[in-house]
Structure 1
Amino acid sequence: MSIYEQFLKIPATCISDSLKGLTNMDFTIKPLKETYKISGPACTVKLLANDNLIFLKGLVLAKPGDVLVVDIGSYQYNAIAGDFMIGAAKVLGLAGVVVDGTVRDSAGIKETDFPVFCRGNTLAASNKVGIGEVNIPICCGGVVVNPGDIIIGDADGVVVVPQDRATETLKFALKKEQADRKRAKLLESANATREYINKLLLKS
C-alpha cells in the first residue's frame, strides 16, 4: 500500500495534529460534497485572477494520482473551472483538485463524483489569457505548497504534508488515530467517560 493510500485512510484531523495544525489550509476551503476524500502528491498551479488557461496546462502536466493545487490568491468572483474542466481532471486520472478560489457548474461537478475542494461556487467564467506557472512553490489557503508535497483532504478540510516529513507524519497520525479509537470506547460507559474528563480537568 502506497503512503498516499495509507494517508487516505486516516482522518485529516489526525494528520493535522501530527503537524501541530501548522499546515492546515484556510477552513473555508472545503469539499463540494462531504464524502469527498483526497490524498496524493501536489501538482501546483499559479494563476492570475480571472484567467484559467494555465489550469488546462496543469491538467496535462499532472500525473495520474496527482492532486492539482491551484493558487489564485483567494479570488472568488470568477470560477477557476466548471464541470468540463473537472470532468477532464477525472478522465486524466487525477486524485482531486484543490482551489484557493471558486468553481461553477457545481451540480455538474457533483455528478462527476470527482473530489473538488474550494472556497465555494459562483456564476462567472474566467478568461483564457495564459499568465501563470505550473509546478512551482505556491501559497494555497495560507499554506506554502511545493510540488510533490502530500495533500490530504476530507470533510474537515485540507492539510499539507511536506515531502520530507511524510514518514514521520504518517507514523504519528497512525498512533493518534489508534488513541482516538481507544478513547472513543470510553463513551460506552458513563463512569469511564466521567473519569476521563475529570483527569483532563485535573491536568489543566
Structure 2
Amino acid sequence: MTSRTEWPAGYFIGQRDQVPDPATIEAFRRLPVPNIGDCMGRSIGAIGLQPYHGDNGVVLCGPALTVKVRPGDNLMIHKAIEMAQPGDVIVVDGSGDLTQALIGGLMRTSALTKKIAGFVIDGAIRDLNEWTEGGIAVYARGNTLRGPSKDGPGQVNVPISCAGLLVNPGDLIVADVDGVIAIPYAELQDLLPKVQKHAQREEQIRVNNASGTTDPERFNSLLRAKGCPV
C-alpha cells in the first residue's frame, strides 16, 4: 500500500482493514437506533441530518466507507463510489456546508448499480425528486440546486467527523427514522447483546404501560434519592 507521505498534500486513498460480518450487520439492522444510542451512553448520534429517501421504513445498516472533502467538492466521493462494495455506506465529512450539493441524481444512479446501501452526508444534496424514488437511503444536512466542483483535495478511508459522529473506516452505520449512529468496529460484539437485552426490557415496559400495570416505584425511588418525600 502506498505510504501517505507519497500522496500530494490533502489527498489520500486508503483501504479498510476490517468490516463487520454479515450476521452482525443483520442483527443490528433489527434493532432501533435509539436503543443502540441508549447503550452507548445516550450522547452519541448524528446531529442535524435529515432523511431524503422518501421511505420512513428503511433501515440503513452497513460498513462505513469514509470520505473527507473540501466543502462543495465531490471528487473523492466519485472515487469512493467506484471503490464501494455492495452494502457499504458512504459517510462524508463535508464540513456541514450547504452552499453546493455534494451528491445528486446521477451519482445516485451509479450507487444503485453498485448496490451501495446509502449515504450519510454532512453537507447538501440535490435532485430530491430522484432520491424520493427510494432504492437507496440518504441522510444529509440540507439541499441546494447548486452543483459541486471536482477539483479536490479529499481523502478516502480515513477517520472523519460527520455531523457530530466520529467515524472510522469499517465502523457500522445504522440509521432509521430516528437518526444515524456509528458503532466502532471494536465494540460491535460486546454491544450487540446489551442492545438486544435493552430492546427486550423496553418491550416489557411498553406492555406494562399499555396494560396500566406500570410500577410507580421505578421513578419514585429516583425522586426519593433526590430528597423528594414521595
- Which TM class, normalised by the smaller chain length? over 0.9
State the TM-score, normalized to the length of structure 2: 0.83
RMSD (Å) for aligned C-alpha atoms: 1.4
Partner of 1:199: 218
Partner residue, 2:172 = 150
1:30 aligns with 2:50: yes
Matching of residue 18 in structure 1 with residue 39 in structure 2 = yes
1:2-31 deviation line (CA, Å, top 9, x unaligned): 1111111100001111111343111x2122
Correspondence 1:6 to 2:33: no
Q: Take 2:217 and 2:147, find their aligned partners in 1: how far apart are those partners?
A: 55
Unaligned runs of 5+ in 1: none
What do residues 85-136 of structure 1 show as CA deviations (whole Å, max 9, x unaligned)?
1221121011111001111111111114311011122211111113101001
1:64 is paired with a residue whose SS is coil
State which of 210, 224, 229 in structure 2 corresponds to 1:188.
210
- The answer to whether the 8 Å contact 1:36/1:116 transfers is no
Percent identity reads: 34
49, 65, 76: which one aligns with 2:87? 65
Q: Show CA shifts across 1:162-201 (max 9, x none).
A: 01000111111101110111111013323x13xx245313
The equivalences for 1:1-204 within 5 A come to 2-26=23-47, 28-32=48-52, 33=54, 34-190=56-212, 192-193=213-214, 196-204=215-223
Unaligned runs of 5+ in 2: 1-21, 224-230
SS at match of 2:132: helix
- The code of the aligned residue for 2:88 comes to D
Alpha-carbon distance, 1:71 to partner: 0.4
**For residue 148 of structure 1, what is the amino acid of its counterpart?**
G
Query: For the Cα contact (< 8 Å) 1:30–1:118, is it kept in 2?
Result: yes
TM-score, normalised relative to structure 1: 0.93
Corresponding residue SS for 2:208: helix
SS at match of 1:100: strand
2:88–2:118 CA contact under 8 A, matched in 1: yes
Higher share in helix: 1
More strand, by proportion: 2
